[in-house]
Amino acid sequence: MKLKIKQLATVQTGYSFRSRLEASKDGEVAVIQMKDLLQDNTVGCKKLVKIELETVKEHHLAQKGDLVFRSRGQITTAAILLETPGKAVVAAPLLRIRITKPDKILPEYLNWYISQRDAQIFLASRAKGTLQKMISKQTVEDMEVYLPTLEKQQHIVDLANLSARERAILGMLAEKREQYISTLLMQLAKGE
């Protein structure tokens, strides 16, 4: 079964600030920006900039399970909020995707799906702009997603996470091996 994202979730444009963000020690509202989206497609909540924002409507606040979509730039993937960010808003040009049909799709699965080849081809074919690629809210809403059972979705997410961990471990192993060989070769060069 395939459904469009708009049949499974709401897509909301990020909060638009009229001026440059001014960090404030007394700020009560955190702002999720492009720099907070990590390489593993999660949102890093530890270094969110806090600002003073007098009125922020409830529907603008981000919550655990929301996806934050990169709508500008060369990378058109999403990042998932794995923890509650407290009182936080997603800044424009990012888009916030919130699942409305948890009985049909897991947020982690949608996050994984958006970075897959089929989804990336769809997004690339509808990107606007030459230097700065832009993906519209409408494009994200119209993207179709294959929907296996929730159980299969969870298996896919678990396997993808294991695969990512394996890649990270293999990368660290290769780096350690390179350091070891380099040290051995230097010892040989010095005649030790």
Do both 58 and 98 map to the same domain? yes
Do both 98 and 181 map to the same domain? no
Q: What is the 3-state secondary structure (H, E, C) of 72-121?
A: ECCCCCEEECCCCCCCEEEECCCEEEEECCCCCCCHHHHHHHHCCHHHHH
pLDDT at 176: 96
The answer to whether 123 and 139 are in contact (CB under 8 A) is yes
107-114 vs 150-189: helix axis angle to the nearest 10? Answer: 60
The answer to whether 78 and 67 are in contact (CB under 8 A) is yes
Counting the structural domains of the chain, the total is 2
Do both 100 and 16 map to the same domain? yes
For residues 163-185, average pLDDT: 94
pLDDT at residue 19 tops 80: no
Do both 100 and 160 map to the same domain? no
pLDDT at 57: 78
Say how far apart CA 36 and CA 34 lie, in whole Å: 5
Do both 137 and 160 map to the same domain? no
- pLDDT of 65-77, one tens digit each? 999 999 998 889 9
The answer to whether 1 and 87 are in contact (CB under 8 A) is no
What strands lie across the sheet with 49-51, from one edge to the other? Answer: 49-51, 29-32, 88-90
- Greater confidence (53 vs 92) lies with 92
pLDDT at 36: 93
Do both 89 and 132 map to the same domain? yes
Do both 119 and 141 map to the same domain? yes
Do both 48 and 143 map to the same domain? yes
pLDDT at residue 22 tops 80: no
Prediction pTM value: 0.87
Do both 137 and 52 map to the same domain? yes
pLDDT at 142: 97
Do both 155 and 96 map to the same domain? no
- Greater confidence (26 vs 14) lies with 14
Do both 86 and 129 map to the same domain? yes
pLDDT at residue 55 tops 80: no
pLDDT at residue 21 tops 80: no
CA-based nearest residue to 66, from 42, 50, 93: 42
What secondary structure letter does DSSP report for 60? G
Q: What band does 53 get if pLDDT is binned at 50, 70 and 90?
A: confident
pLDDT at 26: 74
SS3 call for 158:
helix
CA 44: distance to chain centroid? 10
- Containing domain of residue 191, as a range? 148-192
Say how far apart CA 11 and CA 15 lie, in whole Å: 13
Do both 175 and 90 map to the same domain? no
Q: What band does 106 get if pLDDT is binned at 50, 70 and 90?
A: very high
